[in-house]
Amino acid sequence: MITHSIRRRLVIGSAAITATALALAGCGRSEDAPTGGSQATTTVSEGPATGNLTVWAMGTEGENLPKLMEQFQQANPDVKVTVTPIPWDAAHNKFTTAITAQTLPDAAMVGTTWMGEFADLGALDPTPAGFDNAAFYPGALDTTKVGGTQYGVPWYVETRLVYYRKDLAAKAGVSTPPTDWDGLKAMAKAMKEKAGAKYGINLQPGGSGSWQTVMPFAWSAGANLTTDDQKEFTFDTPEMQEGLKYYQSFFTEKLAGTDLPPNQTEAQFVNGQVPMFISGPWMAGSVAKLGGDAIKPNIGVFEIPKNKTSTSFVGGSNFVVFKNSKNKDSAWKLVKFLSDAKTQAAWFKMSSDLPAVKSAWEDPSIASDPLLPVFGKQLESAKAPPAIVNWEQVATAFDTEIEKMAKAGQSPADTAKATQTKATAIGTGS
């Protein structure tokens, strides 16, 4: 089961990404940016890894990774791996300082929303041939690609589902989870009218990260965030407006509230006040910890209901090799080890991080869980924001307009238009 600490780590990590990236995201690549002291790696040699490797990883991953490196070093006895754990709130500045000073490690865990910036600064080594990209979830693989070039591989993933109280759904007369927008709306109404809930569903009414809950509905309506070449934003479209209109309707119809105290989602779910919410896999353990044995059998999840498609948000972290590494061949061998299905299953047991490699989900530790396979199914169609330099600035502007829409009644059309105007002014950075 997913632990509460993972939820806290991801929340803190997301906040750190937002806060630190804003100061740097608009800078683009300066003429003084390091270009990487060696040619990009095109192939990885046969045989074991050798020499010394330095690796950076954040949060709980940084604390747990040395245990996994023991397995890598047993299989590669002539290599020594030194892992440096980095707090999430210090990581972005540490990376950007090291890029400027050319003091980066050989390889590192990198948040998906940092990929565009670090690639633009010329710090990342393109992924060499020999990786089985078809093994990864497509949405996760997309987070490694910047301007058509792949840098690194997906390491672990997460996506968002609709959580619901099974017992209260039964009381509301809902025996089968909904699969489309009309069904979700009807379920939220039934939860309120028949199951005694204050609100049918908890949806974020703006604020930091709210775009991650809004975009699954916009994507499901056929919206995109940018043009295919990622040079222009596409917020002001009928498809985006359709997703925003549906999202806003939960607030105007009083099925979701703007007056709920923050950081109380688990408590509101356990006490039945708000028996549905949208979140990631870490919340299962968080709810179970709070509600105890009575709540565990009543925690249910289902995929994001579809309009045209069922499309959720995919997050997580990638593993990269830096251009200035003096031992890139062995560094890529390490990345190959980390992306092996058996390694990913072993890592899940150590960390509860969900595998980016699809076949690793066949391991009994995941396949036998009552909830996790549904996350795996949703990952097949999940999407990420574009890996562009200025995404964090644009996301913050989008969050602000979402709050105006949810709390002040700003129309979906005006929300899309205002976000488009702000995003165009910020630019993609390409």
DSSP letters spanning 8-25: HHHHHHHHHHHHHHHHHH
Mean pLDDT of 242-254: 98
Give the residue-averaged pLDDT of 394-404: 97
Please answer whether residues 215 and 186 qualify as being in contact, where contact means their C-beta atoms are separated by less than 8 angstroms.
Answer: no
| Domains parsed from the chain with CATH numbers | 4-158+314-379 (3.40.190.10), 161-313+388-424 (3.40.190.10)
Torsion of CA 111, 117, 118, 119, to 10 degrees: 110
Which tops the pLDDT comparison, 7 or 245? 245
Is pLDDT at 9 greater than 50 in this prediction? no
In the chain, what percentage of residues exceed pLDDT 70? 90
Work out the number of other CB atoms within 10 angstroms of the CB of residue 101.
9
Q: pTM for this structure?
A: 0.87
Say which DSSP state 63 is in: H
pLDDT surpasses 70 at 78: yes
* pLDDT exceeds 60 at position 321: yes
pLDDT in tens, 194-239: 999 999 999 999 999 999 999 999 999 999 999 998 899 999 999 9
Handedness of CA 133, 134, 135, 140 (dihedral sign): positive
**Residue 429: pLDDT band with limits 50, 70, 90:** confident
46 Cβ contact list (under 8 Å, min separation 6)? none
pLDDT value at position 386?
87
- Looking at the predicted structure, is the pLDDT value of residue 38 above 90? no
Query: For residue 425, what pLDDT band results from cuts at 50, 70 and 90?
Result: very high
Measured distance CA(71)–CA(56) in Å, rounded: 17
- The reported pLDDT for the residue numbered 113 is 86
Quote the pLDDT of residue 185.
Answer: 98
Residue-wise pLDDT tens digits, 151-186: 999 999 999 999 999 999 999 999 999 999 999 999
User: How far apart are the two ends of the chain, measured CA to CA in Å?
Assistant: 41
pLDDT for 162 equals: 98
Task: Read off the pLDDT band of 43 (50, 70, 90).
Answer: confident
For 365-398, the pLDDT digits (tens) are 999 999 999 999 999 999 999 888 889 899 999 9
Contact assessment for residue 344 and residue 356, using Cβ atoms and an 8 Å cutoff: yes
What integer is the mean pLDDT of 397-411? 98
Give per-residue pLDDT as tens, 129-139: 999 999 999 99
pLDDT beyond 80 at 7: no
Q: Residue range 2-19: average pLDDT?
A: 34
Ordered strands of the 299-302 beta sheet = 276-279, 161-165, 299-302
Q: What is the mean pLDDT of the chain?
A: 90
Q: Give residue 2's pLDDT.
A: 32
In terms of Cβ atoms closer than 10 Å to its own Cβ (0-12, 13-18, 19+), residue 46 is: exposed
How would you classify residue 270: left for phi > 0, otherwise alpha for psi between -120 and 50, otherwise beta? alpha
For 91-104, what is each residue's pLDDT tens digit?
A: 999 999 999 999 99
Inform me whether the pLDDT recorded for 13 exceeds 50: no
Give phi and psi for 321, each to the nearest 5: -115, 140
The residue to which tokens 């707090």 are assigned = 87
The model's pLDDT over 141-154, given as tens digits with 9 standing for 90+, comes to 999 999 899 999 99
Predicted confidence (pLDDT) at residue 42 exceeds the cutoff of 70: yes
Name, in order, each residue with C-beta under 8 angstroms of 340's C-beta and a sequence gap of 6 or more.
357
Query: Burial code of 392-420, b = ≥16 C-beta within 10 A, e = fewer?
Result: bbbbbbbbbbbbebbeeebebebbbbbbb
Task: Tell me how long the chain is.
Answer: 430
Q: How confident is the model at residue 10 (pLDDT cuts 50, 70, 90)?
A: very low
For residues 7 and 86, the model is more confident at 86
Residue 8, pLDDT above cutoff 90: no
- Decide: 396 and 32 in contact? Cβ < 8 Å: no
